[in-house]
Structure 1
Amino acid sequence: MHLKSFTRLQHIGGALLLVLVLWQGAILLGGWNESLFPSPARTVQGFSDLLADGTLQRDIVDSLRRFAIGFTSSVVIAMALGLVLGWYRHLWDYLNPIAQVLRPVSPTAWLPFIVLFFGIGELPALVIIFIAAFFPVLLSTVSAVITIDPVYLKVAQNFSIRQPQLLMRIVLPAIFPRIANGIHLALGTAWVFLVAGEMVGAQSGLGFLIMDARNNLRADMLMAAIITIGVLGLALDTLVALLEHRIYRIWGIHERGDNA
Structure 2
Amino acid sequence: MKKIKTFVVPFAVLLLLWQALAAAGVFPKSLFPWPADVYEALAERTFSGKLLLDVGASMYRFLIGYTLASILAVLLGLVMGWLPGIWNYLNPVIQVLRPISPVAWLPFIVLWAGTGDIPAIVIIFLAAFFPVLLTTVSAVNKLDPVYEKIASNFGLGKVKTLFGIIFPASFPQIASGLHLALGTAWIFLVAGEMAGAQSGLGYLVADARNSLETDLLMAAILVIGLLGLVLDLLIRCGEDQAKRLWGFGTTEGGRD
- Aligned match of 1:57: 52
Q: Confirm or deny that 1:123 pairs with 2:95.
A: no
Q: 1:225 to 1:107 in 2, by over 3 A?
A: same
Q: Which structure 1 segments of 5+ residues have no match?
A: 1-5
Question: Is the CA contact 2:62–2:121 (under 8 Å) kept in the aligned structure 1?
Answer: yes
Q: CA deviation at 1:184?
A: 0.9
% same residue = 52
Question: Is the CA contact 2:240–2:249 (under 8 Å) kept in the aligned structure 1?
Answer: no
- Aligned match of 2:6: 11
- Aligned match of 1:149: 144
Deviates more, 1:247-256 or 1:157-166: 247-256
- Aligned match of 2:187: 192
Deviations, residues 63-114 of structure 1 (Å, cap 9, x unaligned): 0111011101110000001001111101110110111111111000011111
Match of 1:183 among 137, 161, 178: 178
User: Any idea what SS the aligned residue of 1:203 has?
Assistant: coil
C-alpha separation between the residues in 1 aligned to 2:170 and 2:2? 30
TM-score (norm 1): 0.94
- Aligned match of 1:3: none
C-alpha separation between the residues in 2 aligned to 1:26 and 1:184? 34
Match of 1:134 among 129, 137, 150: 129
Q: CA RMSD in A?
A: 1.4
- Aligned match of 1:47: 42
Counterpart amino acid of 1:58? L
C-alpha separation between the residues in 1 aligned to 2:12 and 2:53? 29
Question: Is the CA contact 1:156–1:170 (under 8 Å) kept in the aligned structure 2?
Answer: yes
Match of 2:78 among 83, 98, 117: 83
C-alpha separation between the residues in 2 aligned to 1:7 and 1:167? 42
Q: CA deviation at 1:28?
A: 2.4
Deviations, residues 25-52 of structure 1 (Å, cap 9, x unaligned): 2112343222211011111011112113
TM-score (norm 2): 0.95
C-alpha separation between the residues in 1 aligned to 2:233 and 2:250? 16
Match of 1:22 among 12, 17, 24: 17
Counterpart amino acid of 1:23? W
Q: CA deviation at 1:251?
A: 2.0
Q: CA deviation at 1:258?
A: 6.2
Deviant stretches of 4+, over 6 Å: none
